[in-house]
Amino acid sequence: MNDKTCIVFRIGSQKFCVDIEKVKEVSAGKDSIYVPGSPEYIIGVINLRGSIVPIINLAKKLKINSDVTNAQHPIIVTEMDELQLGFSVDDVVGIIHVKEEEFSQTPSILHVRSNFLDGVIRRDEEMIILLDLDKTMSDIELEQVRTLQEEQSVL
């Protein structure tokens, strides 16, 4: 793994990070519109400069206890399969530059679905989990979100 610049965020008591190249922007929390019948991990949709963006509760996707109950928390906006998505997190901590030697494999004792993880960054006494947002959504889930987005765009 090469050196990376990552955005660090918190969900519950755990710090995570994602490669900044995968992030389109970080948005302050906005009121979302709940969409009846949407999967439980979808908080709702927001209007982000004219685009309808579904907001995913990342804590629910990762099965982590968290403060996130709505889109009033920071939103990490990314694009997957030509679909713009927002991931609601508890807090954005900052941006770090990570050297290749700081990365290690994901320990099996972590209580996060490991297929989402690219590894762990160890800094001082702290462990930051490197998350691959592209792997958090299955093809079926992306299709559900795409349908939801198209339905909301018509309204």
Going from the N-terminus, what domains does the chain have, and what CATH number goes with each? 4-154 (2.40.50.180)
Q: Name the band, by pLDDT with cuts 50, 70 and 90, for residue 85.
A: very high
Could you read off the pLDDT of 6-58 as tens digits, one per residue?
Answer: 999 999 889 999 999 999 999 987 788 888 888 888 998 998 888 889 999 99
Q: Name the band, by pLDDT with cuts 50, 70 and 90, for residue 143.
A: confident
Query: Which segments within the chain are labelled E, that is strand?
Result: 4-11, 14-19, 23-27, 42-48, 51-57, 75-80, 83-88, 91-98, 103-104, 117-123, 126-131
pTM: 0.86
Is the CB of residue 43 less than 8 Å from the CB of residue 57?
Answer: yes
- pLDDT over threshold 90, residue 63: no
pLDDT at 87: 94
Distance of CA 47 to the CA centre of its chain: 18
Could you read off the pLDDT of 88-133 as tens digits, one per residue?
Answer: 999 999 999 998 888 887 665 555 556 778 888 988 888 899 999 8
Tally Cβ neighbours within 10 Å of residue 36.
4
pLDDT at 154: 61
The pairing of strands 126-131 and 14-19 is parallel
- pLDDT over threshold 80, residue 74: yes
The mean-pLDDT minimum among 39-53, 67-81, 136-150 falls in 67-81
Q: Name the band, by pLDDT with cuts 50, 70 and 90, for residue 145.
A: confident
- pLDDT mean over 64-81: 78
